[in-house]
Amino acid sequence: MSTTYLSQVVMTQLNQAQAVIDQHLRACDKCAINKRCAERAEAEQVFARYRQLPHRTPGLTRQGPTEDVPFGFFRSRE
């Protein structure tokens, strides 16, 4: 197995693509359409080109208040 190092230019492209994906998460709320828009599709192609996966941010698609809500068994019962 070999290690592949990505150049600074590629890392910049991936960071920009990640920002686009983060803005267009839930059926493209930014573009107000019910399907993936062309801008998000292009961002996904950048990740595919370099055989990378976008970073996941838990809770980013959650609607409502932005305060942290404890998950799982740490959740308080009221």
Q: Domain for residue 16, yes or no?
A: yes
Inter-CA distances, 23 with 20, 27, 36, 69, Å: 5, 10, 12, 22
The model's pTM is 0.63
- Kindly write down the DSSP assignment for every residue of 20-61, as one continuous string: HHHHT-SS-TTTT-SS--HHHHHHHHHHHHTT--PPP-TTTT
Q: Into how many domains does the chain fold?
A: 1
Look at residue 70 and tell me whether its pLDDT is greater than 60: no
Q: Domain for residue 63, yes or no?
A: no
Degrees, nearest 5: CA angle 2-4-9: 175
Q: Domain for residue 58, yes or no?
A: no
pLDDT tens figures, 12-60? 999 999 998 888 876 666 677 766 788 888 999 999 999 999 988 777 6
Q: Domain for residue 15, yes or no?
A: yes
Q: Domain for residue 77, yes or no?
A: no
Q: Domain for residue 74, yes or no?
A: no
Which of the four pLDDT bands, split at 50, 70 and 90, describes residue 64? low
pLDDT at res. 76: 53
Show the domain range for 38.
9-53
Q: Domain for residue 27, yes or no?
A: yes
Q: Domain for residue 2, yes or no?
A: no
